[in-house]
Amino acid sequence: MDIDQKIFFNFHTNRQFIFHSIRIPSIINSFNILTMSKKSRRLAGILLIVFPSVIYGGISLLGLLVHDPAYMQNPLRQNLFRAGHAHAGIFLVLSLVVLRYVDEANLSDRWKEIVRYFVPTAAILVPAAFFFSVLSPDAIKPNDFIYLAYIGAVLLVVGLIILGIGLVRTQKNI
């Protein structure tokens, strides 16, 4: 265990004293407490910064419900906007959970990167498909943007299966 000694001066008593501190990382590693990698922590931070946009989307939907009679006349648009908002929120939370576990998985760095980015990418593609496929208030069927939902679903499933395999294969004693 590493111990640092630092000399401080107390201005109230005009005396010097020695402060002993223990380096926390050495204690954490000795108890095998796992922490997030820098890559996962950075991406989690970005996701948390982006998350208020989902809240703004919910407020926007509420505004459409209350103030836009044309929005209420198009059930397809209502349902896809609602689905887009719900999937954005759930997939962002799922992305944060995935980032917590990906560093513990028994996977190569390349597979960890795939997991780390596939799930949040699905959180972008699936809601985008729902929103952009019925942008027109007069839409009676979704346009070709709806196919982004299938791509996002594939990325999500691949990322989750890889992570699941990596966690099942994990042989670390925690």
Say yes or no to pLDDT of 147 above 90: yes
- What's 143's DSSP letter? -
Structural domain count of the chain: 2
pLDDT digits (tens, 9 = 90+) for 87-128: 999 999 999 999 999 999 999 999 999 999 999 999 999 999
H-state helical runs in 37-141: 38-50, 52-67, 69-72, 75-102, 109-132
Task: Taking residues 58-63, report their average pLDDT.
Answer: 90
Task: Taking residues 66-85, report their average pLDDT.
Answer: 90
% of the chain exceeding 90 in pLDDT: 64
Residues 80 and 5 in one domain: no
pTM of this structure = 0.75
- For 44, how many CA atoms within 13 A lie in the half-sphere containing its CB? 17
Question: Which two tokens mark 13?
Answer: 């008593």
Residues 100 and 53 in one domain: yes
Residues 104 and 130 in one domain: yes
**1: pLDDT confidence band, cut at 50, 70 and 90?**
very low
